[in-house]
Amino acid sequence: MAASINGVGGVGFGGLTCSTKTPLPSSRSSSFRVQMSVPVEDKKRNYTLQKSQEAFNAALNLMPGGVNSPVRAFKSVGGQPIFMDSVKGSHMWDIDGNEYIDYVGSWGPAIIGHADDEVLEALAETMKKGTSFGSPCLLESVLAEMVISAVPSIEMVRFVNSGTEACMSVLRLARTFTGREKIIKFEGCYHGHADPFLVKAGSGVATLGLPDSPGVPKATTSGTLTAPYNDIAAVENLFNSNEGEIAAIILEPAVGNSGFITPKPDFLEAIRRLTKENGAFLIFDEVMTGFRLSYGGAQEYFGITPDLTTLGKVIGGGLPVGAYGGRREIMEMVAPAGPMYQAGTLSGNPLAMTAGIQTLKRLKAPGTYEYLDRITRELVQGILNAGKKTGHAICGGHIRGMFGFFFTEGPVHNFDDAKKSDAAKFVRFYQGMLREGVYFAPSQFEAGFTSLAHSPEDIQKTVAAAENVLSKI
């Protein structure tokens, strides 16, 4: 596939170099040529990111910070943002020809592996019929039935295009149904970039050290109450001081946006009890954990059924998608069945539905989650053992195909605990692992992900690389 970008001198995609039309209005030099695709067989080369550097310099003139999502800019780990050229299975290749074992998985969706042949084949067949209809299609109902049958809390579902959109919509729904306005969220939990959630948020907000975001009106966040994750007493106090005013609690049942943090044994049960006692909804943000911790998500894994659930990532199989769902009586408040308005031109588009259907079919196969659990345990335990062997304070854990670790003795129960991790050491570790051909999320405050495509050999190579790097930092 070839593409041209106006204003970037000679950028080529897929091995084709394209000329451009107009120079960039900048003092930076914009005249360069990058051969984006490099034969992956040519692996015996010195580690270099020269072409990524050239591409990033051009991108800085085209997009804010040179990226379309902040964490990709490598601000918290330093060095050069990496421009990827291709992916397959558990591996990625950048435009300089470097190969990596990937533990980001497009931030979670690639649970069966990148560019899966069966998914690609199904997408190719679907594309012959068109990419977007703007009207109902049967594929929407197929995926809806799969989601409803899998997720305990969902009796009806509405598809959207992103996790942010799902969380924004479910919040509006909770307020509509309860007639209340206030919500409780947890410090370091990220529920997308809608205004009400950008209060003590995780993910890129935590990565860049942004406490909140300019441009968010105080009135928009005045109804957002926060508590430390895993702190039941703090939640009780919020209910007591805001009696009859709280519409819902929204949380990540296992946190992925402050690094990977699991709930204490009784935490989710206590939250479920408090919401019922106070007439508030419990919302599980399962954009990360849905279909990853188990086929029925974190709610099936932990045995706690929320009132509403948001989904994303995995259910799109690598294409943009989100969803929210819950009990029928609640969901029937959504237009056109009810008064709460929410819409989306590309919601339920046939490509995203197809990728989601094929992905969920694969996940339902026997042994799927046992395999994810086994390889992820070996990975995390191997890294922790390597850290301790080489004299570093380190802790971490996993659930099925989701994991994380921190450079601190721990334990880590909330965002404040996570911030005790040695950020400078993480940077050295991260850069060392890149040179060893291992790609983790470029932030201490992001979870990692394994996939069905990760082999025992991938895990062994990663653990060996980690011990090598940790012995030198």
Question: Which tens digits make up the pLDDT trace of 425-459?
Answer: 999 999 999 999 999 999 999 999 999 999 999 99
Q: What is the pLDDT of residue 37?
A: 46
Residue corresponding to tokens 């940790």: 470
> In the predicted model, is pLDDT for residue 19 greater than 60?
no
According to the 3-state scheme, what is the secondary structure of the chain?
CCCCCCCCEEECECCECCCCCCCCCCCCCCEEEECCCCCCCCCCCCCCCHHHHHHHHHHCCCCHHHCCCHHHHCCCCCCCCCCEEEEEECEEEECCCCEEEECCHHHCCCCCCECCHHHHHHHHHHHCCCCCCCCCCHHHHHHHHHHHHHCCCCCEEEEECCHHHHHHHHHHHHHHHHCCCEEEEECCCCCCCCHHHCCCCCCHHHHCCCCCCCCCCHHHHCCEEEECCCCHHHHHHHHHHCCCCEEEEEECCCECCCCCECCCCCHHHHHHHHHHHCCCEEEEEECCCCCCCCCCHHHHHHCCCCCEEEEEHHHHCCCCCEEEEECHHHHCCECCCCCECCCCCCCCCHHHHHHHHHHHHHHCCCCHHHHHHHHHHHHHHHHHHHHHHCCCCCEEEEECCEEEEECCCCCCCCHHHHCCCCHHHHHHHHHHHHHCCEECCCCCCCCEECCCCCCHHHHHHHHHHHHHHHCCC
* Count of all residues that appear for the chain in the document: 473
Q: Which residues, at least 6 apart from 107, have a Cβ–Cβ distance to it below 8 Å?
A: 313, 441, 446, 449
Q: What is the pLDDT of residues 185-238, one digit of tens each?
A: 999 888 987 777 776 654 444 443 444 666 777 777 778 899 999 999 999 999
* Averaged pLDDT for residues 339-367: 96
Backbone angles phi, psi at 398, to 5 degrees: -155, 160
Class of domain 50-62+79-115+367-471: alpha beta
Report field, pTM of the whole predicted structure over 0.75:
yes
So what CATH class is 117-364? alpha beta
- pLDDT, residue 216, reads 73
For residues 332-340, give the mean pLDDT: 97
pLDDT band at 29 (very low <50, low <70, confident <90, very high): very low
Closest to 445 in 3D by CA, of 303, 201, 258: 258
Closest to 259 in 3D by CA, of 206, 302, 312, 198: 206
- Percentage of residues in the chain having pLDDT higher than 90: 81
**Where are the chain's structural domains?**
50-62+79-115+367-471, 117-364
Structure confidence at residue 184 (pLDDT): 95
Catalytic residues: 190, 285, 313
69-127 residue pLDDT tens: 988 999 999 988 999 999 999 999 999 999 999 999 999 999 999 999 999 999 999 99
> For 136-195, how does the pLDDT look when each residue is reduced to its tens digit (9 = 90+)?
999 999 999 999 999 999 999 999 999 999 999 999 999 999 999 999 999 988 898 777
The per-residue pLDDT for 198 is 72
Distance of CA 442 to the CA centre of its chain: 13
